[in-house]
């Protein structure tokens, strides 16, 4: 590690000598192991150790970024010269000068120590676990009389090591293990056709997370539920209903309809041509976008969360951010550049997925804060409603205003109790209408893992999405085939 630190210091010195008013150097190594089981057959095991150095500079008010995995002094010197020169050239097309907010950066080391190290679990054991889960899913499906012709299960472990230093004093080192499982189950019945369930689990933990997940039991339950949905879900009449959303649905809503709109770089238009903009503006803090019971937070500091970190990739200490508080826009997600533009402090939202990607404004773990209601209390007051436990298709426009969520496991609620399963309920609604319809918040809290896509080139970054059950009054639910 000593060599890399020397390189990082050399980068800062060289960039400063060449005229950079700000310089940042990062070493990052991501060591992955991936195992894939397709329809019960081991497809491939892959190892990927991605490591290299990045540099970011401000020169004449323009931002330059560069990266290389060629770890020798000459190549690194050449890269620094190139990045500074490119930024100088880019400054020709800058009317306003980019500056970083001068908030507190840290000198810190943080890590998660796995209780069970990944290297102690052999590839054979990993495949065996996936096979056991695959068998459990098939048997569960068979027991209710359906087939599972498509079964795709991948298991990924990763250890991310970073050293970040900046010309204004940040020095942050971290080591985070992450593990995730992604699965797609496709159920088939000759009369009913196909139904499909996507499952994502992820934590910043060692192998102990996998043991806790108990994958065979989880896939058996998912398979059973999927089969029952395929066999028994009935069509229903479109119309206005009181609706209870499960934590998985609330999670994706929190991410898409509260998290993305609050990204300050979108507000400034930096993602206009790619991931899009937002319906919010610089002046939106304080505006009402939902009912008073809604509080949406983004919090990277939750121990073992998939989006965990204590310092961001600009060396700023992380904290919980309230995006929506009591139904009003409370705070945006900022890096040091957007914070300066907004006249505020960075709240440590700057993340990069690998050494060769620039750090940009990202979410971490975005969720609705729990309230006071039990699930039973949420549904007991509903005479004719719908409970959507989980979802399949979703999307949202690039201003984060019009969204669609299609439920998978869903039920009618009749006179305060769950009734028959229903097929493919569709919610297509605007963001303020969705948040404003909530009148009660459950006291439970569950998270799902996800990989959030943003940036150019695309950066898929680990996050949690989550929340409690929510009750929404009188929203339109469409039925699809």
Partner 1 sequence: MRDEDICQFVLDLCRNEGATDASVMVMENEEKMIRFSNNQITVIKDLDETSASIFVQIKERKVGINVYDLSRRKLKAAVKRAVETAAKSQPGDIYAPLPKGPFKYDDRLMNQREILLDSEELVGSVQEAVDAALKEGGKRIAGSLIGRNVQVTIMTSGDVFARTKKSTLELSVRAFVNEHASGHSLSIASKPEDFDPKSAGAEAGTLAKLSSNPVQGTPGKFTAILGPMVFADLANQIGRFASAFYVDAGISFLGDKIGEKIASEVVSISDDPSAAGTYGAFPFDAEGLPTKRTPILEKGVLKNYLHNSTTAKKFNTESTANAGLIVPHPFNLIVEPCNSSVEKMINSIDDGLYLTNNWYLRYQNYKTGDFSTIPRDAMFLIRKGEIERAVRELRISDNILRILKNVKELSRERKWVKWWEVDVPTLTPAVLVEQVNFTKSTN
Binding mask 2-41 for partner 1 (x = CB under 8 A): ----------------------------------x-xx-x
Q: Which is nearer to partner 1, 68 or 157 (CB)?
A: 68
Q: Which is nearer to partner 1, 82 or 320 (CB)?
A: 82
CA 181 from centre of chain: 14
* Contact with partner 1 (CB under 8 A) among 182, 312, 358, 409: 358
Instruction: Determine, following the binding rule CB under 8 A, whether residue 186 of this chain makes contact with partner 1.
Output: yes
**Beta strand pairing call for 107-111 and 62-68:** unpaired
**Beta strand pairing call for 402-407 and 391-396:** antiparallel
Give the shortest CB-370-to-partner 1 separation in angstroms.
27
- Scanning residues 36 to 65, which ones bind partner 1 (CB under 8 A)? 36, 38-39, 41-52, 62-65
Distance in angstroms (rounded) separating the CA atoms of residues 179 and 401: 33
Please spell the DSSP secondary structure of 146-214, one letter per residue.
Answer: -EEEEEEEEEEEEEEEEEEEETTS-EEEEEEEEEEEEEEEEEEETTTEEEEEEEEEEESS-THHHHHHT
11 close to 27: Cβ distance less than 8 angstroms:
no
Distance in angstroms (rounded) separating the CA atoms of residues 166 and 311: 13
Q: What are the counts of helices (DSSP H) followed by strands (DSSP E) for the chain? A: 10, 24
The candidate with the shortest Cα–Cα distance to 454, out of 400, 415, 382, 391, is 400
- Scanning residues 367 to 426, which ones bind partner 1 (CB under 8 A)? 392-399, 401-404, 406, 424, 426
Binding mask 138-177 for partner 1 (x = CB under 8 A): -----------xxxx-------------------------
Give the shortest CB-451-to-partner 1 separation in angstroms.
14
The candidate with the shortest Cα–Cα distance to 77, out of 61, 55, 62, 60, is 55
Residue span binding partner 1 (CB under 8 A) among the ranges 80-88, 218-226, 241-249, 284-292: 80-88
Size of the site for partner 1 (CB under 8 A): 94
Residues in the chain: 481
- Scanning residues 105 to 144, which ones bind partner 1 (CB under 8 A)? 122-124, 127-128, 131
* End-to-end CA, the chain: 58
Instruction: Determine, following the binding rule CB under 8 A, whether residue 87 of this chain makes contact with partner 1.
Output: yes
Q: Which is nearer to partner 1, 71 or 116 (CB)?
A: 71
* Contact with partner 1 (CB under 8 A) among 15, 83, 302, 410: 83
State the Cα angle at 395 between 366 and 178, rounded to 5°: 40
C-alpha Rg value of the chain to the nearest Å: 24
Give the shortest CB-115-to-partner 1 separation in angstroms.
24
Q: Which is nearer to partner 1, 1 or 184 (CB)?
A: 184
- Scanning residues 297 to 356, which ones bind partner 1 (CB under 8 A)? 356
Q: Which residues, in sequence order, are bridge partners of residue 467?
A: 446
* Contact with partner 1 (CB under 8 A) among 142, 374, 458, 460: 458
Instruction: Determine, following the binding rule CB under 8 A, whether residue 194 of this chain makes contact with partner 1.
Output: yes
Instruction: Determine, following the binding rule CB under 8 A, whether residue 283 of this chain makes contact with partner 1.
Output: no
Instruction: Determine, following the binding rule CB under 8 A, whether residue 200 of this chain makes contact with partner 1.
Output: no
């Amino acid at each position: 590690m000593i060599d890399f630190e020397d390189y990082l210091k050399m980068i800062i010195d060289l960039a400063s000598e060449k005229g950079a008013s700000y310089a940042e150097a990062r070493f990052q190594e991501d060591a992955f192991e991936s195992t894939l089981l397709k329809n019960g057959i081991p497809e491939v095991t892959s190892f990927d150790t991605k490591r290299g150095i990045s540099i970011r500079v401000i020169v004449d008010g323009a931002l330059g970024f560069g990266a290389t995995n060629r770890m020798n002094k000459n190549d690194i010197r050449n890269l620094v010269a190139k990045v500074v020169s490119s930024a100088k050239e880019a400054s020709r097309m800058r009317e306003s000068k980019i500056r970083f907010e001068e908030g507190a950066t840290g000198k810190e080391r943080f890590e998660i120590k796995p209780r069970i190290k990944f290297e102690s679990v052999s590839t054979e054991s990993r495949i065996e676990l996936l096979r056991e889960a695959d068998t459990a899913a098939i048997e569960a499906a068979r027991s209710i009389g359906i087939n599972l012709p498509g079964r795709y299960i991948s298991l990924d472990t990763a250890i991310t090591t970073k050293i970040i230093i900046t010309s204004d004093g940040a020095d942050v080192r971290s080591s985070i293990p992450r593990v995730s499982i992604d699965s797609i189950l496709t159920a088939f019945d000759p009369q009913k056709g196909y139904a499909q369930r996507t499952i994502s689990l992820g934590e910043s933990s060692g192998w102990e997370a996998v043991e806790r997940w108990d994958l065979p039991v989880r896939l058996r339950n998912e398979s059973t539920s999927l089969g029952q949905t395929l066999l028994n879900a009935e069509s229903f009449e479109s119309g206005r209903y009181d609706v209870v959303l499960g934590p998985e649905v609330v999670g994706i809503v929190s991410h898409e309809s509260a998290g993305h709109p609050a990204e300050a770089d979108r507000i400034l238009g930096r993602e206009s041509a790619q991931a899009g903009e937002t319906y919010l503006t610089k002046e939106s803090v304080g505006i009402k976008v939902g009912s008073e019971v809604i509080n949406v937070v983004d919090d990277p500091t939750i121990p073992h969360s998939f989006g965990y970190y204590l310092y961001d990739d600009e060396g700023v200490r992380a904290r919980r951010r309230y995006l929506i508080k009591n139904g009003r826009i409370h705070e945006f997600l900022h890096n040091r550049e957007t914070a300066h533009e907004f006249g505020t402090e960075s709240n440590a939202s700057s993340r990069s997925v690998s050494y060769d990607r620039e750090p940009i404004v990202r979410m971490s773990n975005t969720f609705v804060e729990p309230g006071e209601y039990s699930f039973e209390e949420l549904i007991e007051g509903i005479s004719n409603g719908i409970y959507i436990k989980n979802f399949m298709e979703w999307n949202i426009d690039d201003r984060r205003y019009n969204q669609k969520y299609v439920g998978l496991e869903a039920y009618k609620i009749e006179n305060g109790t769950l009734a028959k399963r229903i097929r493919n309920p569709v919610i297509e609604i605007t963001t303020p209408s969705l948040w404003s319809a909530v009148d009660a918040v459950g006291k439970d809290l569950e998270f799902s893992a996800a990989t959030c896509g943003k940036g150019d080139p695309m950066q898929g970054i680990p996050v949690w999405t989550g929340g409690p059950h929510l009750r929404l009054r009188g929203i339109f639910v469409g039925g699809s085939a």
